[in-house]
Amino acid sequence: MKKIAIYLSLILFLFVSFFFYQCGGNNKNETNTNTTLVPYREGKLWGYAYTFNKPIIKPQFEETFFFQDELGKVKKNGKYGFIDKKGNIVINIDLDWAWEFEEEIALVKKNGRWGYIDRKGKFIIPNQYHKLEKFTDNLAIAQKNPNGKFGAVDKNNKIIIPFTSDEMYPFKNGIAKIGMNEKFGYIDTKGRIVVPFIHNSAINYTENLAKVRKDGEYGYADMTGKMLIEPQFLEAEEFESIGLARVQKNGKWGIINKQGTFVVPTEYEFIYPFKDKFCRVVSEKKYGFIDEKGKKIIPIEYESAEDFSADLALVRKNKNIYIINLQNQIVLNLAFDYAEPFSERIAVVRKGNEYGFINENGKLITKLKYKLARNFEKGFGKVQIQNTEWGFIDKKGNEYFKD
C-alpha cells in the first residue's frame, strides 16, 4: 500500500507540474509576441515599442525608423542621428540627413556636404562632396562642387574614376553610363570605355543591349553601338533580366528575344513587365496572364488585374473584386471598392473612403477606418488616421500609436 501511495503521489506531482508548465508556456507566448523594436507614436512624438501598447524607448523624437544592424535612425530638432536598443545615443543627432547603415557604413549629410560614417559616427569618407551616391559595384559616384565634374571613389575615398565626366550614373552589373560633351557612353569599373560616346541620355543598356531610336522607330544596339536588331518598332521597352523585351508594332504589343525573334506575336493592346515569369496582358480592354513563352495561363476575361504574389492575384470582374490562384480558381470574393496586390500575404483594401487590411483568407485584420494605408514591409503596415498622423500596425491589427 505504501508503494502504491508513493506512485500515486508521483503521478499527481508530474500532472500538476505539466499543467503549470503548459500554462506558463502559453502566457509566455502571449506576452512576447514581437521581437522587433517598432517605431511607436504618442501624439506627435515617436519612440519604440516591442509590444503595441508598451513603449520601451520613451516617445521623444520627431520621427523614428526601424532598426537595422542594432542601430535605429531618429530625428530631433530637424537633425538625424542613431541610437541603440536601450535608447542611448550612439551617433550624435546633428546630421542634415542619414541613410541606414549598409555593410557597416552609412551615407550622411552634415553641414551641407556628403560623406560616409562608420558605426561609431567617425567619417571614413569626409563630408566634402556636393553630391555622393550609395556604393554600387564597390564604387560611389561623387561630385565635389556644384557644376563640377563627376567621378567615382572607393570605400577608402581613393579616386578610381577621375572627375572628368559631365554626368555620371551609378554602376550596375559592372558598367556605368557617363556623359561628356552632350554624348553618352558606358565605362567599366576600371574606367575603360565599353560603349562609345555616340548616344543620347535616354540610352540605357540592360542585358548588354540598348533600345535606340532611328528615323522614328526603335531597334536595339549591342555594346559597340552596332545595331543588332534593326529599328522597326513604334514603341519598345528595355530588355528584362529574363532576356525578353516588350515591343509595339502596327499598334499592337508583342515580345522578342535577344535575337529579335518574336516569342509572343504582336496581338495585345498592352503587355506589362514580367513578374515571376508571368505578365499581365490586355486585349479588347480585358486582362489576363501569359508566361514567357506566350502561353495563356489565365484567360483574358477580367476588367482589371494585379500581378501575382504568393500564387494569388487580385482581379475585377463584373465590378466585383476576387482573389484567384494560378489555376484561375476564385479563392475569395471581396466585398470592397478597391484592393491592392498582396505584400507579405496582406493586402490593402478600401470601401468608400476608409482603408484597412485583409489576410489571404479575405479576413479583415483591421477595421475599415483609416484615411490611407500602405503595404506591409518587414512585418508591419503603415496607416494614416483621420487627423493626418501616421503610425504602424502589425499583422494582428495591433496599433503602435496612441493619440
- Is pLDDT at 10 greater than 70 in this prediction? no
Own/partner pairs for 176-185, CB < 8 Å, 24+ apart? 176/139, 176/141, 176/152, 177/203, 177/204, 177/205, 178/150
91 and 116 Cβ atoms separated by less than 8 Å: no
Mean pLDDT comparison of 137-141, 169-173, 340-344, highest-scoring range: 137-141
The reported pTM is 0.83
Confirm if 59 and 47 have CB atoms less than 8 A apart: yes
- Rounded to whole angstroms, the Cα distance separating 350 from 371 reads 10
Q: How confident is the model at residue 276 (pLDDT cuts 50, 70, 90)?
A: confident
pLDDT digit string, tens, across residues 113-145: 999 999 999 999 999 999 999 999 999 999 999
Type and span of the H or E element at 26: helix 2-31
367-381 per-position pLDDT tens digit: 999 999 999 999 999
Task: Identify the helix (H) or strand (E) that includes residue 30.
Answer: helix 2-31
DSSP 86: T
* 354-to-137, 313, 368, 386, 400 alpha-carbon distances in Å: 44, 22, 5, 10, 19
pLDDT category of residue 200 using cuts at 50, 70 and 90:
confident
Rounded CA separation 156/162 (Å): 15
Domains of the chain, by residue range, sit at: 1-32
Question: Which of 388, 383, 377, 396 shows the shortest CA–CA distance to 68?
Answer: 377
Tell me, letter by letter, the H, E, C secondary structure of 4-20. HHHHHHHHHHHHHHHHH
Share of the chain above pLDDT 90, in %: 82
Q: Say whether pLDDT at 337 is over 50.
A: yes
Give long-range contacts, CB 8 A cutoff, 24+ apart: 286-294.
287/315, 289/313, 290/264, 292/242, 292/244, 292/255, 292/263, 293/263, 293/264, 294/255, 294/263, 294/264, 294/265
- Euclidean distance between CA atoms 125 and 158, whole angstroms: 9
